[in-house]
Each structure stands twice: as C-alpha cells, then as structure tokens.
A = this chain, B = another copy of it.
Amino acid sequence: MQTKKIELLETYLSLYIDHATVLDNTGKEDSPYVVLDVRNAPAHIKKDQIKGAKAIPARDLTNHLDELDKSKTYVVYDWTAGTTLGKTALLILLSNDFKAYELGCALEGWKGMNLPIETIE
C-alpha cells in the first residue's frame, strides 16, 4: 500500500505548479508560462483574474486549442483548489500534447497571498 500511496502522490503532485514559479515569470517577455483562467462563469461573476491571464472557459477549451502555442506551458486555474474544472482543462491540454499544469493555490490562494490580479472589464 505504501508504494501505491507514493505513486499516487507523485502523479497527483506532478499535475500542479506552484505560484512562486509562475510569479517569477509574470510579465517577462520570454516567459515559458501562459496562465489560463478556465472558469466557466460570466465576466460579471468573475470580476477579476490573475494579472495577465488569458480567459478560456473550460467548456470552450476544445474549440480554442488552435489559438494555443505548443512551445508554451499552460497554467490553468479555477476559483478554489479541489474543484474539478482545472483538472478537466488539464486533461484536454495534456491529451492534445500541450505542456500544462494546474496552479496549486487556485485563484483563492493567489488572492489570499495578495499576488497581482486585474479587474475584468
């Protein structure tokens, strides 16, 4: 059972990227990361997002794959950690040969740490 636990933890954790790695690259011209806000809610509910994020709702992601760049690494996030929307988006991206991670802290954690956000018009 110990081996199974370790295997599950390793695979599970390999799905995630931490905020520090993303933050270190924010605003850099040649950043390998593109942050994707995959929340399905309309803009007036979302109100704000991670600074510089590109909004593609998880439910529309399959139709927007041709706008994405295979040389980039996509970092998806939902409202909170533990929801399934980020994993749905991640599965679509990985299955289509994109490099992608889920943001470990989600939007809630990002805002809780006072990291840069921006208002959505």
Contact = CB atoms under 8 A, between A and B. Distances in A.
Interface string A97-114: 000000011000100000
Q: How many copies does the complex hold?
A: 3
Given A83-B81, A94-B2, A13 B105 contact: no
A109 to B, nearest CB: 7
Contact of A14 (B5, B104, B105): B5
A53 to B, nearest CB: 20
A109 B41 CA distance: 12
Interface in A1-37: 1-2, 4-6, 8-16, 18
Interface of A: 1-2, 4-6, 8-16, 18, 80-85, 87-88, 90-91, 94-95, 104-105, 109
